[in-house]
Amino acid sequence: MAKIIVSILAFLLMIFPNSKYLIAEHQSLTFNMDASVSSVVNAFKAKDILTLEAMMCQNIKDNVSELRTRIGEMFDAIDGDISSISKWERGYSREERNGQMRLYHQEIRVNIAATKTYCLSIVWGIVDNVTPKETGILRITLFIPPASGTQSQLVAEIRTTGLA
């Protein structure tokens, strides 16, 4: 049933390419969180810079200088080989609706075990019917989770210019 709805939305978008409602519905139906998180995890395991870069929103691609170098530095910041990556879990989500504007962001956390334990926080832009190219990774943060009585330790972060 979902495939039929996606096909109908795709057809309607060909007829009405600027329909903000259709854009938002198509984006929300076609985004696959499991596949996207798996792609990030596989990119980290393989240190695949191009795959992770392709998943970034347009703002990051346009405004983060030396993006490929920064992604490589994030991969290299993990001390030792990745021995395991835990199942991901959802963090916060935020949806905004204002007339014709609809945005939906979802944070995902992935635990990475190497010589140390790391946490990878990914904020996705899933729906953006104002600037559709801004869907994708809005922020990716690698940090060492807090031990008892301490704060988390930031290791690396790449983020869009418009995200607080």
Q: What is the number of structural domains in the chain?
A: 2
16, 40: one domain: no
Q: What is the pTM of this model?
A: 0.78
Identify whether 164 is part of a domain.
no
Identify whether 16 is part of a domain.
yes
| Long-range pairs, 58-64, Cβ under 8 A, ≥24 | 58/131, 58/133, 58/134, 58/136, 59/134, 59/138, 59/160, 59/161, 59/162, 60/136, 60/137, 60/138, 60/158, 60/159, 60/160, 63/160, 63/161, 64/158
Which residues are within 8 A (CB) of 107 and not within 5 positions of it... i.e. 6 or more apart?
90, 91, 92, 93, 121, 122, 123, 124
Q: Residue 77 belongs to what domain range?
A: 32-159
52-97 residue pLDDT tens: 999 999 999 999 999 999 999 999 999 888 888 876 666 656 666 6
Identify whether 120 is part of a domain.
yes
Block residue for tokens 């995890």: 41
Amino acid symbol at 141:
T
111-134 residue pLDDT tens: 888 888 888 888 888 877 778 788
26, 36: one domain: no
Q: Are 140 and 158 in contact (CB under 8 A)?
A: yes
